[in-house]
């Protein structure tokens, strides 16, 4: 175990991921955690992350010197590097020369930390203060214009640090530097893999559940499917999955659950056909937020009713949730509490149905969840599928949602997705919504006659995390095939348009 101490910037998660990429398990802890508590977890090493503050600013988080006396290996990054220097008696000052972004660094003495990396490195920096003199016992390894001491190490005490951010991709040899620290200075062994995770979680789930019954809501998304597959591997038919078919799915999506999930895992699946209920509740509604609220509300109602029914048949004590590590870290959780008793509404369930939670993915990042899914035998088509919003196609019909409009959109959507896959572009595109402008009509001509149909909008985007996105430059030939096929094959559509707006200012979805 490696602990990454979070000093309050966005970097801690990235560092934890990079450590795991080096096949060493890591977790994030807040800087407010007392050092004794960190040491009690018996980490092989502790990494101090970057942070937004200056080490000598009032109220800036400090590092307890007990950490460096404990004998546990430690690595400081940016703020963590300066904090280490300051605590151990080095000289940290404002340089007058701030460095942001790509910065050249000259390696004077590679030591263990920078062994084999180029003598002239381009790295990602973000600092106003700098270390001017390393603490006693440290060898200075590198310098930049604004950072007289840009890297140091004390191999005997197993301490090291760098001023730059080795965890970001723009830093040359970043992963190599991290691995030198982990393997060559801290003595970690890179043997953590997703297969270990499966074995470990299966064991944990068996212990937690015993012979009790477990329920899981499948959304059709990756997280719930992988969580359920893991639990299914652990306890087999003590697990029941519920899939609420709200009628707002794309063509084939509900079948995919049967084909890709049930067939592979053998899980008992309860499919609830709630199309009439959802469409009834959505009738006459055009406001996007209203649609979202209604779908959310109806989902909880349906799931609740099903949970009650199943609970009457076999008393259910546990509920599986596909919570991921970023959610845990962001809600201030962190230190691996995996059995939270939920006395209050879990996902909106009523108080008198009381479940304990099983969250087998709560220590994993999204890419690790995907690897786990593959390791569990789930097909790539499920594990690497594009994100699809919970409210489904209801927020891709601009205007009222009706069964007829859903059918039109489904037909157009299927054509677009099929052509994207045929062109081999699925992995390059983050998401490819098709939007039906149901209240707009335009004049066209087809065959010998005038048409008065609806437009659809193609919205292919690239993105890394959906927070920002760019419109995807799909090849003209692919766009042409999609356009021709949609107007030929879907009667009600006589115009196909392309959305070339990035996010911001647009969003990915139209509603």
Of the residues 31, 127, 165, 180, which is catalytic?
Answer: 165
Listed residue (357, 369, 281) closest to 326, CA to CA: 369
Of the residues 167, 359, 371, 419, which is catalytic?
Answer: 167
Of the residues 27, 31, 78, 127, which is catalytic?
Answer: 78
Does position 391 interact with ligand XMP (CB under 6 A)? The reply is: yes
Nearer to ligand XMP, 332 or 504 (CB): 504
| Smallest gap from residue 306 Cβ to ligand XMP (A) | 20
User: Is 78 assigned a catalytic role?
Assistant: yes
Contacts of 478 (CB under 8 A, 6+ apart): 419, 420, 423, 425
Question: Binder to ligand XMP among 283, 305, 466, 500 (CB under 6 A)?
Answer: 466
User: Is 165 assigned a catalytic role?
Assistant: yes
* Cα→Cα distances 367→138, 223, 358, 361, Å: 37, 11, 20, 11
Residue 126: beta bridge partners?
100
Is residue 266 within 8 Å of 393, Cβ to Cβ?
A: no
Does position 220 interact with ligand XMP (CB under 6 A)? The reply is: no
- Number of residues forming the site for ligand XMP (CB under 6 A): 11
User: Is 167 assigned a catalytic role?
Assistant: yes
Backbone angles phi, psi at 127, to 5 degrees: -155, 155
Question: Binder to ligand XMP among 112, 206, 308, 503 (CB under 6 A)?
Answer: 503
> How long is the chain?
511
Other C-beta atoms lying within 10 Å of the C-beta of residue 485: 17
> Per-residue contact track with ligand XMP, 289 to 308, x per CB under 6 A?
---x----------------
Nearer to ligand XMP, 85 or 228 (CB): 228
CA separation for the pair 209, 213 (Å, rounded): 8
In 391-452, alpha helices (H): 403-422
Does position 348 interact with ligand XMP (CB under 6 A)? The reply is: no
* Cα→Cα distances 293→297, 321, 507, Å: 6, 21, 19
CA separation for the pair 196, 269 (Å, rounded): 27
Nearer to ligand XMP, 224 or 240 (CB): 224
Question: Binder to ligand XMP among 30, 137, 148, 390 (CB under 6 A)?
Answer: 390
Nearer to ligand XMP, 442 or 507 (CB): 507
Nearer to ligand XMP, 97 or 466 (CB): 466
Which parts of 431-460 interact with ligand XMP (CB under 6 A)? Answer: 431
Question: Binder to ligand XMP among 270, 304, 311, 509 (CB under 6 A)?
Answer: 509
| Smallest gap from residue 428 Cβ to ligand XMP (A) | 16
CA separation for the pair 40, 189 (Å, rounded): 20
Is residue 233 within 8 Å of 198, Cβ to Cβ?
A: yes
* Span interacting with ligand XMP, options 79-87, 127-135, 165-173, 502-510, rule CB under 6 A: 502-510
| Smallest gap from residue 347 Cβ to ligand XMP (A) | 13
Which tokens in the block code for residue 176?
Answer: 């190599």
Residue 139: beta bridge partners?
153
Nearer to ligand XMP, 334 or 391 (CB): 391
55 SS3 class: coil
List contacts with ligand XMP (CB under 6 A).
292, 387, 389-391, 431, 466, 503, 507-509
């Amino acid at each position: 175990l490696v602990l990454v101490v979070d000093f309050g910037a966005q970097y801690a998660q990235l560092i934890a991921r990079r450590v795991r990429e080096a096949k060493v398990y890591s977790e994030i802890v807040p800087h407010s955690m007392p050092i004794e508590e960190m040491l009690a977890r018996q980490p092989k090493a502790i990494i101090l992350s970057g942070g937004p503050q200056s080490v000598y600013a009032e109220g800036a988080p400090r590092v307890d010197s007990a950490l460096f006396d404990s004998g546990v290996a430690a690595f400081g990054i940016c703020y963590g590097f300066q904090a280490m220097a300051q605590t151990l008696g080095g000289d940290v000052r404002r340089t007058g020369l701030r460095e942001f972004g790509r910065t050249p660094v000259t390696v004077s003495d590679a030591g263990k930390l920078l062994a084999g990396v180029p003598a002239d490195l381009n790295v990602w920096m973000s600092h106003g203060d700098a270390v001017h003199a390393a603490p006693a016992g440290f060898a200075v390894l590198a310098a930049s214009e604004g950072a007289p001491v840009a890297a140091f190490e004390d191999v005997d005490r197993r301490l090291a640090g760098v001023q730059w951010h080795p965890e970001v991709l723009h830093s040359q040899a970043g992963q190599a530097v991290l691995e030198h620290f982990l393997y060559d200075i801290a003595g970690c062994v890179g043997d953590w893999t997703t297969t270990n995770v499966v074995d470990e979680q299966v064991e944990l789930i068996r212990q937690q559940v015993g012979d009790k019954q477990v329920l899981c809501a499948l959304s059709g998304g990756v997280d719930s499917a992988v969580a359920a597959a893991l639990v299914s591997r652990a306890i087999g038919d003590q697990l029941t999955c519920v899939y609420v078919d709200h009628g707002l799915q794309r063509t084939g999506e509900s079948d995919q659950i049967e084909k890709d999930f049930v067939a592979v895992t053998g899980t008992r699946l309860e499919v609830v056909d709630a199309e009439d209920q959802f469409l009834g509740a959505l009738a006459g509604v055009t406001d996007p937020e209203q649609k979202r609220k209604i779908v959310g509300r109806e989902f909880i109602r349906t799931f609740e009713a099903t949970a009650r029914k199943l609970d009457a048949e076999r008393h259910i004590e546990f509920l599986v949730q596909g919570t991921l590590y970023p959610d845990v870290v962001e809600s201030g959780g962190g230190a691996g509490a995996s059995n939270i008793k939920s006395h209050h509404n879990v996902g909106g369930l009523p108080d008198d149905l009381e479940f304990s939670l099983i969250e087998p993915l709560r220590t994993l990042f999204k890419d690790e969840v995907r690897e786990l899914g593959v390791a569990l035998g789930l097909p790539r088509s499920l594990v690497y599928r594009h994100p699809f919003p919970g409210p489904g196609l209801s927020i891709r019909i601009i205007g009222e949602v009706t069964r007829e409009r859903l059918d039109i959109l489904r037909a157009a959507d299927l054509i677009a997705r099929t052509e994207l896959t045929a062109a081999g572009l699925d992995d390059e595109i983050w998401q490819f919504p098709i939007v039906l402008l149901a209240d707009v009509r335009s004049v066209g001509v087809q065959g010998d006659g005038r048409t008065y149909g609806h437009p659809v909008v193609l919205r292919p985007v690239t993105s890394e995390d959906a927070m920002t996105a760019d419109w995807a430059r799909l090849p003209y030939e692919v766009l042409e095939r999609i356009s021709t096929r949609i107007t030929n094959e879907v009667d009600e559509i006589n115009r196909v348009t392309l959305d070339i707006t990035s996010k911001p200012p647009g969003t990915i979805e139209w509603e």
